[in-house]
Amino acid sequence: MDVLSVQENQAAGAATAPAAIYFDGKTNRKRPVTLRMAGGIEIVEQDRILDIWPFGEVRRADGPPNVMRLACITALPLARLEISDEATRAAILTHCVAIDATAPGRSNTLRIVFWSLAAFCSIVGLAMYGIPLAAERLAPLVPYSLEKRIGDAADGQIRAALGGQICTNAEGQAAFAAMVEKIKAAGELDMPLDAHVLSSDTANAMALPGGRVYLLDGLLQKANSPDEIAAVIAHELGHVKHRDNVRRLIQTGGTSFLFGLLFGDVTGAGVVIMVSRELIDASHSREAERGADDFAIDVMHKLGRSPQPMGEFLLRITGEQRNSAIAMFASHPLSEDRLETMKKANRPNTGPAILSDAQWRALKNICKG
């Protein structure tokens, strides 16, 4: 091994160089060392060789200005050399021709970035395609008895959140039951339904898993005709028939809800809270909403009634949405678009009225007395 003294190095052109700081990768202690070029960079402390870094494995690492910081592929990951002396840096550049290849730290950083991006893309892909596909396949397989348990478990919390009680006026209940029965028969639903009007001022209607349907009095009082309400109820029964609630709960609940289904634990407190929140939000996808609208249109046609009143009713409730700032974030199709769809499906009324005038008055007064 050709070893030159410092004085010989300065005269001969840099085979030995002082003034380097060595971090061994085990501690954060700075160790002043001498570097010798002899088949590799020999790191020498008080005439004792601490390590040898082969020239071809030395890489430049990120460091402060005016300091050459080096790493070595085969050394400990945190081992570093810091060199401020110009002559020593020149010697390093002469011997270490691969110094500017990807450094270990950079390689690790790139690897971390790559796998982080891969994990992010996997999560996004699972959320966008994996879970929806699982929901699409699993929803029809959930037994009706289990679906009903989900709805029953969430029912109390939903009614408490809406601040309403079931309206009990006998004549109104009979009129509503007659309407629901006609819609159920026209829609060919073969599952039992439990439909009620709630004394809530909120203008809405909803269907829970298991065939429980609620019409809120706030929406009922804004309606001008039985056909408007009948089409809304038909829309909700479309969600029941297509099992949209179960599909949405699998999608939004993800793996926790899937495990609940797997082990039959769908009435635990956590699941009930999650189910209640999702059902109150009523944020079906636009595709599911269009499917429920199509079901309502078909039901109204079978009853010999026009679906157009529903579109007019919805637009009257929501107002124009197309120019609204939240239009692009709306889960439902825009009311203007829904009205256009129902206008295209408009037909002259050929069937009997869904409710008589007396029944309609009774339904409107169901929450009174």
CA distances from residue 186 to 182, 282, 346 in whole angstroms, order as listed: 6, 25, 17
For residues 127 and 223, the answer to whether their CB atoms sit within 8 Å is no
CATH of 6-101, one of 3.40.190.10, 2.30.29.30, 2.60.40.3080, 3.40.640.10: 2.30.29.30
What is the reported pLDDT for 10? 39
Residues 252-278 have pLDDT tens digits of 655 455 545 544 544 444 454 455 555
213 CB neighbour count, 10 Å cutoff = 22
What is the reported pLDDT for 209? 82
The model's pTM is 0.59
For residues 310 and 296, the answer to whether their CB atoms sit within 8 Å is yes
Cα–Cα distance for residue pair 16/31, rounded to 1 Å? 17
* DSSP string computed for 224-237: SSHHHHHHHHHHHH
CA distances from residue 79 to 70, 88, 154, 189, 243 in whole angstroms, order as listed: 9, 19, 59, 72, 60
Ranges under pLDDT 70 in the chain = 1-19, 102-111, 119-144, 250-284, 321-332, 369
- Residue ranges of the alpha helices (H) in the chain? 6-12, 86-95, 104-125, 131-138, 144-162, 170-187, 217-220, 226-242, 244-263, 269-281, 286-302, 308-318, 335-344, 357-364
Cα–Cα distance for residue pair 279/159, rounded to 1 Å? 11
Report percent pLDDT > 90 for the chain. 45
What is the reported pLDDT for 277? 54
What is the reported pLDDT for 266? 47
Q: What six digits make up the tokens of 241?
A: 């028939």
| Positive/negative CA dihedral, 264, 133, 328, 240 | negative
What is the reported pLDDT for 362? 96
The ranges of the chain annotated as CATH 2.30.29.30 are 6-101
What is the reported pLDDT for 63? 83
What is the reported pLDDT for 210? 83
What is the reported pLDDT for 323? 60
